[in-house]
Structure 1
């Protein structure tokens, strides 16, 4: 009980500090943005996400109809598989990532996006670390936004070696802020040396603290550079079965911005 109280106090302190930092936008310097204003995907910074066996990417396809840029907005689609008989998946989804092309230092990421609500649809915006032989052997993942089905909220979650070992409540590793699903929303994460702060529409939703007595397995996040993943997925254990009558679906990205501290 005493330990839980200490965790709560630390989290509250971090949130107040985060609020103070958030109010001073001059703390941040924009280092890269993609506004999709050229009405095409910049393949020097992005690649189509390949299909693999995980729930989040096992329906990915490179079919051109899943990727479009219209009026300066990136559209990633999910569709019934009608026209691709050599592909055994019942439905196909589009996703892009910066793996091998993006290498951003810790700072802040903002993404303005909206998406279709549909049974079995799982759009996500998230960061994964750039790893090589010099980086530590810790797991790090920052889920800036995940949405399921017809929920009126999104998930903002972090994962580490510590949380994967079952430690998801001390401190809590996620938050579920409510959103207007019919509108664009801005989803953000700030990576600090002592905390991870999630925001929605520039309002802090949660700050996760570094706890010094638990070491880097609990807080590896400032040890890496990162690349961004924008994924549209259909089906999986978490999101559930897909209602084919709800297809096609879309996630629309207005812009992406990376910042560092001045």
Structure 2
């Protein structure tokens, strides 16, 4: 999850409404799996809590129940002040879930409907990593960032990472990412379509960005035609997002549903 600055905004906000010239074509997509988070807890056959780990984005992940809630058909992931610093010395802790080792997504269209609370230092993310992660260490297997938001921003970042973009530092041929406007105080639907020759991003069914496979003699330009697992997490702090203002905590990420579609042949 190494970042770069993107100056362009793919969607415009006119009179408080988003406009776009390219939209999702709904016909032909068949819903093959969804999770609407009904019940009292999330489905552990699909999801696991993300453990704390050394990368910057995972340094405050916790399995503490105060970071997780399923309520009113939403999975709620929280960033909170640590209630017990004798058991865990971290000042604040965060909740996140992933489908690692449990559910893979290869091709098709993945959608997540979520509402993101703002806070200084908040860094919620929805993203994909290779299902066979041990076989493809980062960034060899690619990373697809469906959505990342910083602080109180009214935009999100949508980005891909690979050996080509990271180790070779080729980030503009083709451009590796873009930004898109959101309704910052409401639910938005973040989506990606994965094809053998491109990765296409959407916000609220508006096409925002496409990363194509190109002809090149450079290494690792398009590693994205493989199974991935999904991560959804309420991250806090880091060099990119900046310091956390603890007065802004708690902060929450509400996930209404996750849907996965595959293309029906002949449609």
Q: TM-score, normalised to structure 2's length?
A: 0.86
> How far apart, in 2, do the equivalents of 1:232 and 1:260 lie?
28
Which ranges of 4 or more aligned residues in structure 1 deviate by more than 3 Å?
132-137
Match of 2:14 in 1: none
Secondary structure of 1:182's counterpart equals coil
1:173-218 CA distance string (max 9 Å, x none): 1111011100100000011111110000001001111102246710
Q: Deviation at 1:133?
A: 7.8
1:61-93 CA distance string (max 9 Å, x none): 100111110011000000011334221111000
> How far apart, in 2, do the equivalents of 1:218 and 1:75 lie?
35
Match of 2:223 in 1: 220
Secondary structure of 1:154's counterpart equals strand
Match of 1:78 in 2: 79
> How far apart, in 1, do the equivalents of 2:252 and 2:156 lie?
16
Secondary structure of 1:163's counterpart equals helix
Structural RMSD (CA): 1.9
Instruction: Sort the Cα spacing of 1:87 and 1:134 in 2 relative to 1 into closer, same or farther, 3 A.
Output: closer
> How far apart, in 1, do the equivalents of 2:42 and 2:96 lie?
12
Secondary structure of 1:65's counterpart equals helix
Instruction: Sort the Cα spacing of 1:204 and 1:132 in 2 relative to 1 into closer, same or farther, 3 A.
Output: closer
Out of 173, 186, 189, the residue aligned to residue 170 of structure 1 is 173
> How far apart, in 2, do the equivalents of 1:135 and 1:82 lie?
37
Q: TM-score, normalised to structure 1's length?
A: 0.88
Is the 8 Å Cα contact of residues 39 and 71 (structure 1) preserved in structure 2? Answer: no
Match of 1:6 in 2: none
Question: Does 1:155 pair with 2:146?
Answer: no
Question: Does 1:95 pair with 2:106?
Answer: no
Secondary structure of 1:128's counterpart equals strand
**Unaligned segments of structure 2, at least 5 residues:** 1-20
Question: Does 1:38 pair with 2:39?
Answer: yes
How many aligned positions are there? 242
Match of 2:6 in 1: none
Q: Deviation at 1:104?
A: 2.1
